[in-house]
Amino acid sequence: MKKNRPLVTTVHISMISLVILTLIVVSATIAIRLFSIKNTLVSNSTELGKRAGEISSTSMEEEVDARLNRIANGQADIVDSNFAHFRSSVELLASDAEYLYEHADEYGRIPVEEPKAENDGKLVVHVTHSEKTDMEDPAVIDELGLLGNETNTLISTHAGNPAMAKCYIATESGLMIEADRDSSAKLNEDGTVAFYEASKRPWYIGTKEAMDTYFTNVTPEANGKRIGMMCGSPIIVNGKFKGVACAGMYLDDLDEMVHSTNIGAEGIACVVNNQGQLLFSSAQTPELMITRENAERDLRESDNAALANMVRDAVNGVEDSGILEIDGESYYAAFASMETVGWSFIIMIPQKVVMESTDKLVGEISDMTEQTETETNSAIGKLLLVILGIGIVAVVIASITAFYMSKTIAAPLSDLTSKVRKIQGEDLDFSWDAPGGEEIQTLAESFRSMTVRMKQYIDEVTRVTAEKERIGAELSVATQIQADLLPRIFPPFPERKEFDLYACMDPAKEVGGDFYDFFLIDDDHLGLVIADVSGKGVPAALFMVIAKTLIKNRALLNGSPSQVLEYANEQLCEGNEAELFVTVWFAIIEISTGKGLAANAGHEHPAIKRAGGDWELVVYRHSPAVATFDGLKFSEHEFELHPGDSLFVYTDGVPEATNKNDEMFGTDRMLASLNSSPDADITELLRIVRKDVDEFTGDAPQFDDVTMLGLAWYGSPDKQ
pLDDT in tens, 314-362: 888 888 888 888 888 889 999 898 888 889 999 999 988 877 666 665 5
What is the distance between the alpha carbons of residues 562 and 333, in angstroms, rounded to a whole number?
A: 47
Number of H helices and number of E strands within the chain? 15, 22
Partnered with residue 529 across adjacent β-strands are 517, 586
Q: Are residues 686 and 555 in the same domain?
A: yes
Residue 580 in any domain: the answer is: yes
For the ranges 258-272, 333-347, 561-575, 604-618, which has the lowest average pLDDT? 258-272
Q: Are residues 231 and 147 in the same domain?
A: yes
Partnered with residue 582 across adjacent β-strands are 533, 626
Q: Are residues 237 and 168 in the same domain?
A: yes
Final residue of a domain: which of 191, 220, 250?
250
Q: Are residues 308 and 410 in the same domain?
A: no
Q: Are residues 512 and 536 in the same domain?
A: yes
Confidence of residue 409 (pLDDT cuts 50, 70, 90): low
- What are the φ/ψ torsions at residue 343 (nearest 5 degrees)? -90, 175
Q: Are residues 660 and 549 in the same domain?
A: yes
Q: pLDDT: is 232 or 59 the higher one?
A: 232
CA angle 330, 331, 334 (to 5 degrees): 150
Mean pLDDT throughout 631-639? 95
What is the distance between the alpha carbons of residues 260 and 270, in angstroms, rounded to a whole number?
A: 11
pLDDT in tens, 117-139: 899 889 999 999 999 999 999 99
Residue 479 in any domain: the answer is: no
Closest to 484 in 3D by CA, of 547, 541, 527, 568: 541
CB burial readout 630-650, b (16+ within 10 A) else e: eebebebbebebeeebbbbbb
Residue 481 in any domain: the answer is: no
Looking at residue 293, what is its pLDDT?
67
Residue 474 in any domain: the answer is: no
Q: Are residues 379 and 312 in the same domain?
A: no
Number of folded domains in the chain?
A: 4
pTM above threshold 0.75: no
Distances (CA, A) of 621 to 104, 244, 376, 624, 638: 18, 19, 86, 10, 12
**pLDDT > 70? residue 430:** no
Looking at residue 719, what is its pLDDT?
59
Confidence of residue 393 (pLDDT cuts 50, 70, 90): confident
Looking at residue 283, what is its pLDDT?
84
Q: Are residues 266 and 342 in the same domain?
A: yes
What is the distance between the alpha carbons of residues 304 and 287, in angstroms, rounded to a whole number?
A: 9
Residue 310 in any domain: the answer is: yes
Mean pLDDT throughout 500-529? 90
Residue 374 in any domain: the answer is: yes
Q: Please provide the average confidence, as pLDDT, over all residues in the chain.
A: 84
**pLDDT > 80? residue 473:** no
Looking at residue 535, what is its pLDDT?
80
What is the distance between the alpha carbons of residues 261 and 72, in angstroms, rounded to a whole number?
A: 10
Crossing angle of helices 438-485/411-422, nearest 10°? Answer: 20
Confidence of residue 228 (pLDDT cuts 50, 70, 90): confident
**pLDDT > 50? residue 114:** yes
Q: Are the C-beta atoms of residues 186 and 125 closer than 8 Å to each other? A: no
pLDDT in tens, 571-586: 999 988 888 999 999 9
Q: Which of 250-264, 395-409, 651-665 has the highest mean pLDDT?
A: 651-665
Final residue of a domain: which of 193, 223, 250?
250
Give me the CATH number covering residue 691: 3.60.40.10
Final residue of a domain: which of 250, 284, 312?
250
Confidence of residue 368 (pLDDT cuts 50, 70, 90): low
Q: Are residues 312 and 411 in the same domain?
A: no
Mean pLDDT throughout 225-235? 87
Q: Are the C-beta atoms of residues 713 and 720 closer than 8 Å to each other? A: no
Looking at residue 52, what is its pLDDT?
56
Confidence of residue 7 (pLDDT cuts 50, 70, 90): very low
Alpha carbon 50 to chain centroid, angstroms: 34
Confidence of residue 519 (pLDDT cuts 50, 70, 90): very high
Residue 94 in any domain: the answer is: no
**What residues contact residue 535 under an 8 Å CB cut-off, 6+ apart?**
77, 80, 81, 513, 543, 578, 580
Crossing angle of helices 438-485/537-555, nearest 10°? Answer: 30
Q: pLDDT: is 394 or 155 the higher one?
A: 155
Q: Are the C-beta atoms of residues 599 and 644 closer than 8 Å to each other? A: no
**What residues contact residue 216 under an 8 Å CB cut-off, 6+ apart?**
202, 203, 206, 229, 230, 231, 232
State percent of the chain over pLDDT 90: 45
Q: Are the C-beta atoms of residues 675 and 688 closer than 8 Å to each other? A: no
Mean pLDDT throughout 91-112? 94
Within 10 A of 233 (CB to CB), how many other CB atoms are there?
25
Mean pLDDT throughout 436-458? 70
- Provide the domain limits for residue 173: 103-250
Q: Are residues 541 and 634 in the same domain?
A: yes
- Does residue 265 sit in helix, strand or coil? coil
Within 10 A of 237 (CB to CB), how many other CB atoms are there?
15
**pLDDT > 50? residue 8:** no
E strand or H helix at 439, and its extent? helix 438-485
The DSSP 8-state label assigned to residue 262 in this structure reads S
Closest to 531 in 3D by CA, of 509, 513, 556: 513
Q: pLDDT: is 267 or 58 the higher one?
A: 267
Task: Please classify residue 598 by burial: count the beta carbons closer than 10 Å to its beta carbon, then call 0-12 exposed, 13-18 middle and 19+ buried.
Answer: buried
What is the distance between the alpha carbons of residues 470 and 21, in angstroms, rounded to a whole number?
A: 67
Q: Are residues 214 and 134 in the same domain?
A: yes
In 169-319, alpha helices (H): 202-210, 252-260, 305-315
State percent of the chain over pLDDT 70: 78
Q: Are residues 241 and 260 in the same domain?
A: no
- Does residue 179 sit in helix, strand or coil? strand
Confidence of residue 2 (pLDDT cuts 50, 70, 90): very low
Edge-first strand listing for the sheet containing 343-350: 278-281, 268-272, 343-350, 329-338, 320-326
Confidence of residue 11 (pLDDT cuts 50, 70, 90): very low
Distances (CA, A) of 306 to 300, 313, 565, 612, 687: 10, 11, 49, 56, 40
Residue 525 in any domain: the answer is: yes
Give me the CATH number covering residue 238: 3.30.450.20
